[in-house]
Amino acid sequence: MAKFVVNGGARLSGKCRISGSKNASLPVIFASLIARGTSEIDNLPDIGDVRVALEIIKRYGASISKKGNTTYINTEKLRYTEPDAELVCKIRASTYLLGASAVRFGRARLSPFGGCAFSPRPIDMHLDALLSHGAVLSDNGDITVKRLVPSVISFKKRSVGASVNALILAAGASGESVIEGCALEPHILTLIEFLRSMGADISLEGDTARVRGGELHGGKVRIGPDMIEAGSYLALSLLTGGGITVIGAEESELSSFLEPLLESGAEISRDVGIRLCSRPRKPVRIVTGPYPEFPTDLQPIIAPVLALSGGSIRDTVWEGRFGYLSELSRLGISSRIVRGVAEIFPSELKSGNATAPDLRGGMALLMSALSAEGQSVIDGAEVILRGYDDPVGKLGQLGAEIEYVDN
Ligand code: EPZ
């Protein structure tokens, strides 16, 4: 297991440029499979999950090259193959293979999908999307599609992953499909932009997407900034003394994250980027929800900030997503869970050893270690590197003493 060794307590300051969004990159990479041609993707982040996704599509024959900040994916010579179980179980986004493979090859296969295991992660809505487009699922997990038909689907709740598959399937089907209850996260909008550039005609009214699919070709898109990485460095600024300016983030995507912090006494300044300073002074209450509500992926990140003045978190997207709190307690953060709500008590952060339970929980540990005086060791560094681009380089530039050690 790799680890980060941190000597914490310094006031971190300087500029931090935000990389391309993980959760926008992954749908686009898998969606590139559905048409013949070359797709151009600008600004993919250099993170573990993107590397695994590119490796997965290479197994189908995609040829990948890079020039500057642009990645080219050529999909002329694809052939169906059984998904590589070892790779597929590393990332959650391999569920997008269900839709992409069904469109391109008329077949797909259920396989144990990976990703952060903070909660049960059902795929019933992904399967509903496949079945409504004419797929047949057999008991052994094989999915076959004789003729991909357009469909009308109404999702029971907002799901990023199921919306990705529904959009990919609808783009591949000739005729008009309707997706009611489509997720609206910025990463979904990036996928829509990419599918449009491939030739799909997509309109979005509220949370209803109308997709006219069919003949497609290679597409082109620029991956926007990662709002979760941006929120992470903004929270770190509050924790370590208010000196980090985040560059390249979309402030409008972060409104629901910034609002409770500003209400509780944090201050924002804007020049070349945005910076949060002045610690919260009042308890903060967080309730997560689908975009544009407070993002679930930022609730573990805000937990160490809540430890400054107290607060509570209710996660309505992943109700059990609090496993990281027991690891945070090793760094001095005191909390308890009462009827599904995590109460975080004002705490003095201290150095210690802890293990990243998942991507965002791992980042919360690293941030706490950076703000506590003394040496901390965060095990499971590779989990954090799945979703954060060059944290050692970026944090080092801000004045952190951090080392990546891979034994
Ligand atoms: C995506 O996961 C993200 N992953 C997650 O980020 C994020 O936490 C989540 O969306 C919510 O924003 C990627 O984009 C790769 P969902 P996903 O389907 O698509 C229920 C990170 O740290 N549901 O939007 O798997 C589900 O139980 C990761 O970057 C069903 O009931 O999440 C949950 O309550 C962690 N049936 C809700 O929908 C289904 O078939 C939202 O899940 C699918 C989902």
- Domains assigned to the chain: 2-18+225-406 (3.65.10.10), 22-222 (3.65.10.10)
User: What is the best residue among 317, 359, 384 to mutate for testing ligand 1's pocket, by most ligand atoms within 8 Å of CB?
Assistant: 317
Q: Which pLDDT band holds residue 345 (cuts at 50, 70, 90)?
A: very high
Q: Is the pTM of this model over 0.95?
A: yes
Q: How far is the CA of 160 from the centre of ligand 1 (A)?
A: 6
Tokens of 261: 């912090």
Q: How far is it, in rounded angstroms, from Cα 275 to Cα 12?
A: 12
| CB of residue 128 inside a 6 A radius of ligand 1 | no
Taking only the tens place, the pLDDT of each residue in 206-230 is 999 999 998 999 999 999 999 999 9
In the block, tokens 């990705």 appear at 164
> Measured from the CA of 124, which atom of ligand 1 is nearest?
40
Which residues are known to be catalytic?
116
How many percent of the chain have pLDDT more than 90?
95
Residue 229: per-residue pLDDT: 98
Q: How far is it, in rounded angstroms, from Cα 70 to Cα 68?
A: 6
Residue 112: per-residue pLDDT: 82
Nearest to 246 by CA among 11, 400, 16: 16
| CB of residue 162 inside a 6 A radius of ligand 1 | yes
| CB of residue 288 inside a 6 A radius of ligand 1 | no
| CB of residue 156 inside a 6 A radius of ligand 1 | no
Q: With a cut of 90, say whether residue 405 has pLDDT above it.
A: yes
Contact 283, 312 (CB under 8 A): yes
Q: With a cut of 90, say whether residue 205 has pLDDT above it.
A: yes
Q: With a cut of 90, say whether residue 116 has pLDDT above it.
A: no
Considering only CA atoms, which residue is closest to atom 7 of ligand 1? 297
Residue 115: per-residue pLDDT: 82
Whether the bond between 357 and the residue before it is cis, its omega within 30 degrees of 0, is: no
| CB of residue 90 inside a 6 A radius of ligand 1 | no
Contact 80, 59 (CB under 8 A): no
Mean pLDDT over the full length of the chain: 97
DSSP per residue over 229-246, as a string? HHHHHHHHHHHHTSEEEE
Sequence-distant (6+) residues with CB within 8 A of 120 are none
User: What is the best residue among 96, 159, 185 to mutate for testing ligand 1's pocket, by most ligand atoms within 8 Å of CB?
Assistant: 159
Residue 72: per-residue pLDDT: 98
Average confidence (pLDDT) over 114-140: 93
Q: With a cut of 90, say whether residue 22 has pLDDT above it.
A: yes
Residue 32: per-residue pLDDT: 98
Residue 279: per-residue pLDDT: 87
Calculate ∠ Cα 299-391-283, nearest 5°: 25
Mean pLDDT lowest among 66-75, 77-86, 160-169, 361-370: 77-86
Taking only the tens place, the pLDDT of each residue in 146-197 is 999 999 999 999 999 999 999 999 999 999 999 999 999 999 999 999 999 9
User: What is the best residue among 19, 98, 121, 253 to mutate for testing ligand 1's pocket, by most ligand atoms within 8 Å of CB?
Assistant: 121
| CB of residue 125 inside a 6 A radius of ligand 1 | yes
Taking only the tens place, the pLDDT of each residue in 28-64 is 999 999 999 999 999 999 999 999 999 999 999 999 9
DSSP state of 343: E
| CB of residue 316 inside a 6 A radius of ligand 1 | no
Taking only the tens place, the pLDDT of each residue in 275-313 is 999 989 999 999 999 999 999 999 999 999 999 999 999
Q: How far is it, in rounded angstroms, from Cα 287 to Cα 285?
A: 7
Q: How far is it, in rounded angstroms, from Cα 232 to Cα 301?
A: 6
